[in-house]
Each structure stands twice: as structure tokens, then as C-alpha cells.
Amino acid sequence: MASLNLNKVSPIQVEVIEHISSLNADDWNSCVGANAPFARHEFLSSLEDSQCVQPKNGWMAHHLVIKGDDGKIKACAPMYLKSHSYGEYVFDWSWAEAYDRAGGRYYPKLQSAIPFTPVTGPRFLLHPSASPEDRNALITAMIKRAIDLKVSSLHVTFSTREEWDILKNHGFLQRTGHQYHWDNRDYDDFDVFLNQLTSRKRKAIRKERKAVSESGVELITLSGNDITDLHWDAFYSFYMDTSGRKWGHAYLNREFFSLLGQRMGQSIILVLAQMDGRIVAGALNIKGDETLYGRYWGCLEDFRFLHFEACYYQAIDYAITHKLKRVEAGAQGQHKIQRGYLPVETYSAHWFADNGFANAVKDFLEHDKRVNDHEMTELSTLSPYKKA
């Protein structure tokens, strides 16, 4: 653990923490909002304690912490020193290649993010007693740490829009992307939601749900202590199969899921599909106070439309029943639109030590934004909802 004195910039002391388990969980969580489950101590410590996040895997914890006069955490930020760009979902591989071609060394870099989790949320975690100056001190400390370590760059990914705007004022370049989210418009039940869709889309969803129902597959939803090691064993096999086919690399190990279940069980919504007494598929969701976040899915057999049912329709059903405001289904998959999940902009911010390279990236990002804006406009025309 090192202590940073911001000297003339600010008298606020910022500590660098290399193991989140060295911090009191309640202390850290007092700075986390109710709808940011992935920023909680339980989630981050599960990643570190299971060694999914560790220097050997290219993720060295570098969390920033500001403490008040009472010794308790007043503001903090999850941050990592990274030796690659895996597990981020805001792709900078081309930047790394260009930087290396120019004679530089892109890695290591600093990253403020939630590992393996492309979910928008606060990256600068503030206690209710914290001030804007505390947040500015965290940002300044990040930049100072990048300079002191002589890294190529500093990245803040899947931040809130407010943070994104503030980071621009600190010299960060702005980047946008998009995901697919479903908004709960105070629906009483799934049928009321369906009635907001065009006739063709409504019939298609009913056809898909009926096919799953008639296939003999039974879907159950588990949370908390109802999730046993048997369930986690089954789900982990699904996760490994999907990871191998889609990404070629599994970031999470079996221990992580057990730790997550022990530490965040009430926030886990696990949808499992059963047939003839066997668990054949599963979808893992994490719940915040307002949002259900779809994270992982897997199935070892082929069941038509089961993916849509387990991942999208069951999530909508759950959100309506429990009065949640939205379901975030993550990136990729234009097919989500016809099932009620619409494109939503996401934000990341990037700082580079080399001004010349920063200017080159700025030119790229201006073009990238035009492409993303155009794609968002085109995708919005595919909305399944009835026109007002």
C-alpha cells in the first residue's frame, strides 16, 4: 500500500490498495450506490480471492481510497494495472498495435473498471459525506499514478454519463458504444408488455415461449440459500462450454461462483432449465435495487428458443414481478431488439501519456462516434414497439 500526496493540486491523501480484502467490506460498500452490485466489496473480493483477478492473470489491483478524519473510507475507485486487454469489452487492441509499431510499449496500462463485466456503473465511489473535490482527487490521483508508473495510458470503462463528462474536463478522450436494455413501463404482467409490441413481434414471442413450454423443459428461478453446490456445478459446466465456443477463454473459475453465492446470494437470480430431472441450461443474473443485469448463459444441448426464454423473457417476467425499472442484457446481439431490448449508449474515457498518440486516437474516436451514432439511429428503426 502506498500513499499519494497530491501536493499543490490537493491536500487530500489517496492510498493505493493492492488487495481489496484488506479493506472493511461495510466501509467500502458505504460508498457504493444501491444499484451498483458489481462495485460492491463482495463482488470484487470474490474475483480476487478466487484468483480470477491477480497479477499472474494480468490484473493487478490498484484500488484508490480516500479516508476521512474518522479513518473510514470517504471515496474510492476500483482500478487495475493490466498487462493485456482481455476481459474489458471496450476494445483497444488496434491502439496497442499502433503504439507498439511506433516504438512504444502499450502494456502495462491502468484501468478503472469492473473485471469481465461490461455493465455501466459508477467508477468513482463516493460516501454521502464526500464532496466533488474528493472525486476530483481520485481522478487526479489516477493520472498521477499513471505518470509515476510510466504507463502508456489510463482507461475508465463503462462509466456513468456524469463521470464521462467530468473526465473530459480532466483531459480524457471520450468514446461511446451501445448495449441493449429493456425498460419497465410499469407493466402489470408480461401480457401487458406484449400488448405494447406490434402484432407480428407479439405473435413471434408467444410462439417462442409456447415452443419452450411444449418441449418439456421446466424453468425454475433460484436465489440465496436455494442455490446449492449442485446448481453451481451445473451452471459452471454451461459457462465453460459457452466461454470455449464464444470467447476461447474462460475468465472465471469454479471457486468464484461459490464465493459469489456465499457473499452475494440474495443478489443472484439464477434461472435453470430442467428436463427429466436433469439441469440442461442456465442463465445467471445479478440484481440491483432498480435493475436486473443478465451476465452469463449456457446450454449443453440444443433446445429451440430456450436461450431467448431463459435470458430475456424470464428476466422481463422477474423485473415486472419485482417492480424493477430495467433489465440490462449486455452488448452484442441485434436479435435482442425484436424481444423488447433497445439500444442504449455506453461510455468510456481514455488518457494517454503521449500527446501525439492521444491526437491520433482522438481522430479515430471522432470517426468511431459517427459510426456508433449512425448505428444507433439505424437500430432504433427496428423497435418492436407500437408507434405512439
173 pLDDT higher than 90: yes
Give the integer Cα–Cα distance in Å for 303 and 309.
11
Q: 2-178+345-380, which class in CATH?
A: alpha beta
Give the number of residues written for the chain: 388
Average pLDDT taken over every residue of the chain: 95
Whose CA is closest to 324, among 34, 23, 69? Answer: 34
Domain chopping of the chain, boundaries: 2-178+345-380, 185-324
Give the integer Cα–Cα distance in Å for 59 and 23.
18
**Which CATH number fits the domain 185-324, given the four candidates 3.40.50.300, 3.30.70.1140, 3.40.630.30, 3.30.360.10?**
3.40.630.30
| 2-178+345-380 and 185-324 share one fold | yes
Rounded percentage of the chain residues whose pLDDT exceeds 90: 91
pLDDT at 331: 75
9 pLDDT higher than 90: no
If pLDDT is split at 50, 70 and 90, which confidence band does 1 have? very low
- How many Cβ atoms are within 10 Å of 375's Cβ, its own excluded? 14
Q: Which residue has the higher pLDDT, 172 or 12?
A: 172
Give the integer Cα–Cα distance in Å for 368 and 53.
30
pLDDT in tens, 34-77: 999 999 999 999 999 999 999 999 999 999 999 999 999 999 99
6 pLDDT higher than 90: no
DSSP characters over 267-295: GEEEEEEEETTEEEEEEEEEE-SSEEEEE
- Give the type of residue at 172: F
Peptide bond connecting 132 to the previous residue in cis, omega within 30 degrees of 0: no
pLDDT in tens, 209-264: 999 999 999 999 999 999 999 999 999 999 999 886 666 678 999 999 999 999 99
